[in-house]
Structure 1
Amino acid sequence: MNVELAVGGIVAIRDRVPPLTSIPLPKAVDRRWLGKRWPVRELAAPPPGSGLKPVLGDAGLPVIGHALDSMRFGVDFALRQYETYGPVSWMGSFGQRFVVLSGPEATQAALVNKDKAFSQEGWKFFIERFFHRGLMLLDFEEHHVHRRIMQEAFTRDRLAGYARQFGPVLRDGVARWPERPRLYWALKQLTLDVATRVFMATPSGAGAARINRAFVDSVRAPTSLVRIPVPGGRWAAGLAGRRTLERYFTENLPAKRESRGDDLFSVLCHATGEDGERFSDADVVNHMIFLMMAAHDTTTITSTAVAYHLAKHPEWQERAREESLALGDDLPDLAALDRLETLDLVIKESLRLTAPVPSLPRKAVKDVAVLGHHIPAGTFVTIAPNTNHYSPEHWSDPRSFDPERFAEPRREDKSHRYAWMPFGGGAHKCIGLHFGMFEVKALLHEMLRARRWSVPDGYRMRWDYVSLPVPVDGLPVRLEPSRNRANKA
């Protein structure tokens, strides 16, 4: 959720941000506020004699701060904040002051978290009501115990089993797409079909639309400006979505406890830690709701970004297609997916250009210094992956699409441990990152062998950052059969 990445306007770099008049905004919003320069203030005075510097920033609009700026401009406002105030700054958003940590060095200080100064309370501020006690919301030793149990669900052998399950779903789903889909929504339905099959061993059916709606409502609710359940509002819809998901998983849990299936739901019911720890029923329900959201939405965003860049760069689409066709007609296993090296480069570059989770919120549980700046206890903090991904100090021509930057010998992602961090880092690095990469590879592989796709000349996709990134227009594409397809499926 990147609502805390926005900043106020600064004349020296204003030309780098799309003009406000060119982007539709809610009628109630006065455009003059969004371009306004705000008074620069200190977050808090450093302790006397500490030698630390204060964190500088600005509050933005009353109460909402820079939330609207961020929802509309995403990456551009994150970069403006960094260029204006440096790697440690603060900003107003949602009635709070958020310290923004940008750039690899500041990111490392927070994610390595050696002295346990940063907790997941930042995530709780946004998503606790909707993803209660999901793995990402747990802290320190409790998080370690839950992660250790859950790791059993993401071993190489488990991943191989999941790949055998999602392969047929993906092949059948891509074959049924119409000629001119809104690709984001087609991909979202397909990744939901995968999630219901792999995570719950349930085929997609009439109930899938209801579960999908519940997930969408729960994901979009945390960035609602009205954070009370007003009828018809996003917050109320999110709470209703959470209740729907709780009922679904609770009703199905007894059968999963009794089974020994290969789906994630069954695996979590029986997962055991090194010392015999097991998840309670409530733990399983909470983790399933969180993991379904995390796997479903981030995979949809990533595959959308990859498909967009392959449409804009047909030479890369053809290069990737050659490798996919060379695998033959069999559904690929993990070893075959590992051989799709071009897709690997394109996926990594797409993740750099569009981080699926553009902000990683935390909370300082005690006074802490980051790069010589004083952050007092109780301060909300957000880490900004997009800023790192566009840093000219670590990436050549960072706004360009250049998958070769991840290939040997360039490996620009090795310029710093946190130059490229689409999966987060530290103790809370995404536990399902390998599952996600394999699913995206398998999905794009099926698209490449069955279809060619394109967008009109001059088309540029724009992301909506109200919650996780979503293409404003759903990414309309034209699909055609892959004429030189080697398979007869």
Structure 2
Amino acid sequence: MTIRDRVPPLTSLPLPAAVDRRLLGKRWPVKELASPPPGSGLAPVLGDDGPPLIGHTFDSMRFGVDFALQRYETFGPVSWMGSLGTRFVVLGGPEATQFALVNKDKVFSQEGWHFLIERFFHRGLMLLDFEEHHLHRRIMQEAFTRDRLASYARQWGPALREGVGSWGASGRPRLYWALKRLTLDVATRVFMGMPSGDNAARINRAFVDSVRAATALVRFPVPGGRWAAGLAGRRTLEQYFSENLPAKRRSRGDDLFSALCHATGEDGEQFSDEDVVNHMIFLMMAAHDTTTITSTAAAYHLAKHPEWQERARAESLALGDDLPDLAALDELKTLDLVIKESLRLTAPVPSLPRKALRDVAVLGHYVPAGTLVSVSPNTNHFSPDHWTNPHEFDPERFAEGRREDRSHRYAWMPFGGGAHKCIGLHFGTFEVKAVLHELLRAYRWSVPEQYRMRWDYVSLPVPVDGLPVTLERR
């Protein structure tokens, strides 16, 4: 069944949906990205520029998963499109993904991220390449050991219980924004070792501006524009972390900031002050944004499927009233399934950009040196060749006996893969489980039966309406 097959006929749609379908179904002249070298036997990469100047920028932001799947259905696993004033080769499906992320010949560079976020997340771990990346990751791993994670859990427990408990004052909160404030509070306490305060709103705004600047159409600092706001946000974050760094160097606290200041590699390597600031800005963004997205997606599905909410709640209540440690969180097996399925349906990072350092053949297609490449998790997560009824919420697909995620190494890849697989994946999963555990203990929540949440893909996925839910104290 194609994307268009799932959309009712135009005559049965209200006007906005009819317009959406026309936009999604619009066809543009198909062209070759570049002519393959004579005698190479390679096929050209086919695609289209989309609308003049803006390309498919707004299509990908507005339609998200549906747009990615339509491109895959139309062009296959290797195609190109115009977006953000340039051209991207899009790799979809497990085989193309594996080729790019395993990257055994080191032909793909993280410079693809530079085009989008280098100015705002300069030299974050995800933007480093090859030997330098390996060195920094090896040092940073000291901050994400099981013992460190246990320490972080002891710190976030009281903050989560207090924060979630305070939501009862509002019977119908916008859950995404409540979760975002909460995860930033946790990141401030656990990463910085500081209680939230007057700076929280200012820092949160700086992170939001920095993330959203990545998809600015006007990519220079016009006053009032998104790019300018992102640069201002970066300056705010640099100042914030730089001012607090000397004290962290002098102490040995349990927070991640202190851990990075004192982390040491196998040969005694340590991060410079500049390294620590760059990594903290990136990790703070990655930690609270992706945790917020995943918690929101899981909470939405639990609202739509109350039988799963009750099943998860029974396991949480069985833990008793103590704040859960890692061992207790490990016992929440239903939440494991729900979180994995939520990550499948809404990948927190819907595009993984790279740059081809030299000419390369991808599944028999010619990709010239210098090409920006985008790996698309969405096409993998909805592949009918790897998932049963992929558009349905079905956490049992991850249960032993089914394990559809094992149909291919890259069928499920919300944390990326290869050398750049998310270093904080265990941290993030434990925090999301802890957030949902507190929510399950304190409330039942629901949405109207006909409600469907829509994601905005202007940067990372954000619910258009913030996900209004009805909260009822237990």
TM-score, length basis structure 2: 0.96
In structure 2, distance between residues paired with 1:93 and 1:355:
20
1:33·1:61 contact (CA, 8 Å) conserved in 2? no
User: How far, CA to CA, are the matches of 1:318 and 1:106 in structure 2?
Assistant: 39
- Which residue of 346, 353, 360 corresponds with 1:354? 346
Of 367, 372, 381, the residue aligned with 1:380 is 372
* Alignment match of 2:302 (pick from 303, 310, 322): 310
Partner deviation per Cα, 1:8-65 (whole Å, 9 max, x = no partner): xxxx85354687942599xxxx997765311111111111111111111111112211
In structure 1, what residue type is equivalent to 2:327?
A
The answer to whether the aligner puts 1:145 opposite 2:135 as a matched pair is: yes
Check if 1:444 corresponds to 2:436. yes
Shift in Å, 1:434: 0.0
Paired AA for residue 235 in structure 1: W
Residue matched to 1:5: none
Q: Does the residue aligned with 1:37 lie in a helix, a strand or coil?
A: coil
Change (3 A) 1:86 1:122: same
Match of residue 226, structure 1, among 218, 223, 227: 218
Contact 1:20 1:31 in 2 (8 A): no
Instruction: State the partner residue of 1:433.
Output: 425
1:17 and 1:77 in contact (8 A); partners too: no
Post-superposition offset of 1:276? 0.8
| Number of the residue aligned with 2:180 | 188
The equivalent residue for 1:60 is 50
RMSD, aligned CA:
1.6
Q: Could you tell me which amino acid in structure 2 is paired with residue 85 of structure 1?
A: F
1:334 aligns with 2:321: no
**Residues 1:269 and 2:261 aligned together:** yes
* Aligned pair partner of 1:77 in 61, 67, 81: 67
1:96 to partner: Cα distance: 1.1
1-structure distance, mates of 2:66, 2:26: 16
Q: Give distance in 2, aligned partners of 1:238 and 1:270.
A: 30
Distance 1:21 1:223, change over 3 A: farther
1:29-428 mapped onto 2 (5 Å cutoff): 35-177=25-167, 178-428=170-420
Greater shift, 228-237 or 403-412, is seen at: 228-237
Shift of 1:227: 1.1
Deviation per CA, 1:308-336: give whole Å up to 9, x if none.
00000000000000000000011111011
For 1:466, what is the secondary structure of its paired residue?
A: coil
Which consecutive unaligned segments of at least 5 residues does structure 2 have?
Answer: none
- Provide closer, same or farther for how the CA distance between residues 34 and 328 of structure 1 changes in structure 2, counting only shifts above 3 A: closer
Unpaired segments ≥5 residues, structure 1: 1-11, 483-489
Opposite residue 16 of structure 2, the aligned amino acid is: S
Pair 1:461-2:458 in alignment: no
Q: How far off its partner does 1:424 sit?
A: 0.2
Q: Any idea what SS the aligned residue of 1:319 has?
A: helix
What whole-Å deviation, never above 9, does each CA across 1:165-207 have from its counterpart, x for those lacking one?
0011000001001221100000000000100000001111111
Go from structure 1 to structure 2 and tell me whether the alpha carbon gap of 1:80 and 1:338 turns closer, same or farther (over 3 Å shift): same
Q: Please state how far the C-alpha of 1:432 moved relative to its aligned partner.
A: 0.1
Residues 1:22 and 2:12 aligned together: no
TM-score (norm 1): 0.93
- DSSP 3-state at the match of 2:43: coil
Q: Contact 1:17–1:76 at 8 Å: present in 2 too?
A: no
**Which deviations, in whole Å up to 9, do the C-alpha atoms of 1:39-97 show, x marking residues without a partner?**
11111111111111111111111221100101000000000000000000111111211
Residue aligning to 1:4:
none
One-letter code aligned to 2:142 = E
Q: Partners of 1:395 and 1:32 in 2: how far apart?
A: 28
The structure-2 alpha-carbon separation of the partners of 1:95 and 1:411, relative to structure 1 and needing over 3 Å to count, comes to same
Q: Distance in 2 between matches of 1:253 and 1:371?
A: 47
Q: Distance in 2 between matches of 1:272 and 1:141?
A: 17
**8 Å contact from structure 2 (residues 222, 228) kept in 1:** yes
State how far apart, in whole Å, the 1-side matches of 2:294 and 2:300 are. Answer: 10
- CA shift, 1:229, in A, is 1.1
TM-superposition CA deviations, 1:268-311 (whole Å, max 9, x none): 00100111111000000000000000001000000000000000
Runs of 4+ off more than 4 Å: 17-21, 30-35
* Aligned partners of 1:195 and 1:296 also within 8 Å: yes
Secondary structure of the structure 2 residue equivalent to 1:391: coil
Q: Deviations along 1:106-140, whole A, 9 cap, x unmatched?
A: 00000000000000111010000100000000001
Paired residues of 2:3 and 2:66 also in contact (CA < 8 A): no
CA distance in 1, matches of 2:37, 2:448: 58
| C-alpha separation in 2, matches of 1:32 and 1:260 | 59
